Structure 1
Amino acid sequence: MSYLFLNKSFMRTLLVIGCFVLTISNCFSQLRFDYPINTFDSCVYIVSYELEYQEDSLCSDFKKKEVMYLLIGDSVHKFVSKNYFIEDTIFRRMKSREEFSAFCRTPPKYLSRFGYQIFKNFPQGYLTHFERIMPNNYKYMEEMTFLKWKLHNETDTIHGYLVRKATCEYSGRSWVAWYSPDIPYSEGPYKFYGLPGLILDIHDTKNHYVFRFLSIEIPKEKLNIDMRGKEYHEISKTMFFKAEDNFRDNIGALYKQAGISKENIKHAKSKIRVRNNPLELDRK
């Protein structure tokens, strides 16, 4: 949720460690390694996308990239960042506090800007968004009726697949999608779905958020669409955005509690101010 930059990678590492320190200090005594795994479906395809995004709406010269996964099941689908997926797999294998402590002492290797897990058609007809905003875990649901697509006649080719153009309005942005009727899954990255074929590429018209298709693969071994059975507070989407804003407004106090120096807290505050360009602009 919250890594920033002081000479880029150093500040990112420092603040993520700060988040770990705060998390440990608050809940180490209640640390659990026996969370049940809630399984919703079996993964039949892994679709990889590269997400290129612009955090500062006024700085088009500075963009970042991250690989994202869409796990397609027979009925339930999951969207998550590759790094979050890897880190979650590591946590699941931990059996003791000693392993957890050793992990926290190691410089972070799998950093993700996107700490959410999005499940589509779970429960049936709904999308459920799970995410931690310190110090709590939250979830909210949306009925899967919010995308109204317009189909166009234009065609193109992406990685050898014939694709067709579609457009829609979503959360304050205009979006252009390219989908492949040859891949018969009405799915796509993030919360996008509902076209007669898999969405391979999609971007907003300002190119602030661009999802590019990388690959589609059958899992090499059995892979479930699941999550650890932590407790999540169910709230409305509007209240979730308010929790995000509250975290942003109080980041100084949180990092002070984590033992981060005043100088780096000041730097963190200045950097978080430029993170003013969320994918979803409609925050109500």
Structure 2
Amino acid sequence: MKNINLLFLLLVSIFTTAQTNRFFYEYKFIPDSTNKADVKKEMMLLDIDKTGSKYYSHDKFVADSTQKADLEKQLKAGAGSINITKREKSGQVSYNVTKQYPDFTTYYFTRVSTDAYKVKEDKKPEWKILPEKQKIGEYNAQKATTNFGGRTWTAWFTTDLLFQDGPYKFYGLPGLIVKLEDSTGSHSMTLVGNKKVNSSTEKELELPGNVRLIGMGGKDIEVTKDQFRKVWKAYVNDPTKNMREMMMKNGNGTNVSFKVKNPDGREITDPNEVFRDMEKKTKENLKKNNNQIEPDLFK
């Protein structure tokens, strides 16, 4: 325990310049357990400062920032309608994870349908540190294992970087995790670079009171893991429920309209047809994304 406390003091001393230490992880994952040849890649960022850390997708961050700037421009111009253009490279990983120092309080942020959720983690990784050592990139690393979230994980950590943190929800080793892989080979994260960046505070997009953007903004609903599982199960059973409820609010002054194009270019405006198409596509997508990084959370 004294060693861990000493490492945390060293960690705090690193941040005297008030900068963020940004670590780049190459994330390889197999979304469909029935198609192991289809391996996806995403560049993930782990930003660490004196208050905590945030793990998130680089492509999603860039896409969201660009979209937010475009929306702010439209709102300032007083546009009668808002046009949202989806970027081609908008990121494959939509969630992010934050940890708050010094107790490493961990939250998982994600969206289910039209709502944003903040899920508090109620367990911490329990590590078994092993004697094996190897070089991971430029760092001397040591092996550790843990069972977490429904998977068995192997981590390699380095005391060359005195951060007791790592990608996703993993932390608590006497050094930064530079490589992490589950026993099935479905999910792996490897440190490929790092740099210091100036600290910045993300500003929320301010929308007029009568405007709500589906999939953007909105207050996070804080839930337990058990509550989130119920939300997820309800979504899987009825993916368009939230959208239909929004349409039913028309009588309360909410005006919602849809304009969707099929792959053949045909425009769909009938809400019932939009919902049928949306439900079909969502269920097809869920079948192809059945290999979650944390299966216990999506039971």
TM-score w.r.t. the length of structure 2 is 0.70
- Conservation of the 8 A alpha-carbon contact between 2:113 and 2:239: no
Q: Go from structure 1 to structure 2 and tell me whether the alpha carbon gap of 1:227 and 1:238 turns closer, same or farther (over 3 Å shift).
A: farther
- Conservation of the 8 A alpha-carbon contact between 1:140 and 1:236: yes
Higher gyration radius (CA):
2
Q: How many residues align?
A: 239
Q: What is the CA RMSD across the aligned residues, in angstroms?
A: 2.9
- Is 2:133 aligned against 1:155? yes
- Conservation of the 8 A alpha-carbon contact between 1:203 and 1:211: yes
- Conservation of the 8 A alpha-carbon contact between 1:78 and 1:118: yes
What runs of 5+ residues in structure 2 fail to find an aligned partner?
1-17, 206-217, 248-257, 263-272
Q: How does 1:51-90 map to 2 (within 5 A)?
A: 51-90=27-66
Q: Go from structure 1 to structure 2 and tell me whether the alpha carbon gap of 1:168 and 1:206 turns closer, same or farther (over 3 Å shift).
A: same
- Conservation of the 8 A alpha-carbon contact between 1:149 and 1:195: yes
| SS of the residue 1:199 aligns to | strand
What's the CA shift string for 1:32-66, capped at 9, x where partnerless? Answer: xxxxxxxxxx5521101111111111221111111
| Distance (Å, rounded) in 2 between the aligned partners of 1:109 and 1:234 | 31
Partner AA of 1:282 in structure 2? D
| Distance (Å, rounded) in 1 between the aligned partners of 2:201 and 2:172 | 20
- 1:203 corresponds to: 181
- Is 2:151 aligned against 1:176? no
Q: Go from structure 1 to structure 2 and tell me whether the alpha carbon gap of 1:123 and 1:193 turns closer, same or farther (over 3 Å shift).
A: closer
Q: Go from structure 1 to structure 2 and tell me whether the alpha carbon gap of 1:209 and 1:175 turns closer, same or farther (over 3 Å shift).
A: same
Q: Go from structure 1 to structure 2 and tell me whether the alpha carbon gap of 1:122 and 1:90 turns closer, same or farther (over 3 Å shift).
A: farther
Q: Go from structure 1 to structure 2 and tell me whether the alpha carbon gap of 1:108 and 1:223 turns closer, same or farther (over 3 Å shift).
A: same
Q: How does 1:80-229 map to 2 (within 5 A)?
A: 80-93=56-69, 94-97=72-75, 104=84, 106-121=85-100, 124-143=103-122, 146-219=124-197, 222-224=198-200, 226=202, 228=204
| Distance (Å, rounded) in 2 between the aligned partners of 1:195 and 1:75 | 18
| Distance (Å, rounded) in 1 between the aligned partners of 2:183 and 2:43 | 21
Once the two structures are TM-superposed, the CA of residue 186 in structure 1 deviates from its matched residue by 0.6
Partner AA of 2:117 in structure 1? Y
- Conservation of the 8 A alpha-carbon contact between 2:28 and 2:187: yes
| SS of the residue 1:120 aligns to | strand
Q: Go from structure 1 to structure 2 and tell me whether the alpha carbon gap of 1:99 and 1:129 turns closer, same or farther (over 3 Å shift).
A: farther
Once the two structures are TM-superposed, the CA of residue 242 in structure 1 deviates from its matched residue by 2.8
- Conservation of the 8 A alpha-carbon contact between 1:71 and 1:225: no
What's the CA shift string for 1:60-116, capped at 9, x where partnerless? Answer: 111111110000111311111101221332245324336997762x45133222222
Partner AA of 1:228 in structure 2? E
- Conservation of the 8 A alpha-carbon contact between 1:120 and 1:126: yes
- 2:230 corresponds to: 242
- Conservation of the 8 A alpha-carbon contact between 1:122 and 1:128: no
Q: Go from structure 1 to structure 2 and tell me whether the alpha carbon gap of 1:78 and 1:43 turns closer, same or farther (over 3 Å shift).
A: farther
| Distance (Å, rounded) in 1 between the aligned partners of 2:291 and 2:118 | 22
Partner AA of 2:107 in structure 1? T
Once the two structures are TM-superposed, the CA of residue 282 in structure 1 deviates from its matched residue by 1.3
| Distance (Å, rounded) in 2 between the aligned partners of 1:78 and 1:90 | 20
Partner AA of 1:121 in structure 2? Q
| Distance (Å, rounded) in 1 between the aligned partners of 2:28 and 2:224 | 28
| SS of the residue 1:111 aligns to | coil
1:274 to 270, 288, 297: 288
Partner AA of 1:62 in structure 2? D
- 1:36 corresponds to: none
| Distance (Å, rounded) in 1 between the aligned partners of 2:132 and 2:240 | 49
What runs of 5+ residues in structure 1 fail to find an aligned partner?
1-41
Partner AA of 2:225 in structure 1? K
Once the two structures are TM-superposed, the CA of residue 275 in structure 1 deviates from its matched residue by 1.5
Partner AA of 2:22 in structure 1? I
| Distance (Å, rounded) in 2 between the aligned partners of 1:237 and 1:208 | 23
- Conservation of the 8 A alpha-carbon contact between 2:116 and 2:220: yes
1:45 to 18, 21, 27: 21
- Conservation of the 8 A alpha-carbon contact between 2:63 and 2:87: no
| SS of the residue 1:247 aligns to | helix
Partner AA of 1:251 in structure 2? P
Q: Percent identity?
A: 26
* Higher RCO (C-alpha 8 Å, min separation 6): 1
What's the CA shift string for 1:197-232, capped at 9, x where partnerless? Answer: 11011010101111111101111xx23365638522
- Conservation of the 8 A alpha-carbon contact between 2:113 and 2:240: no
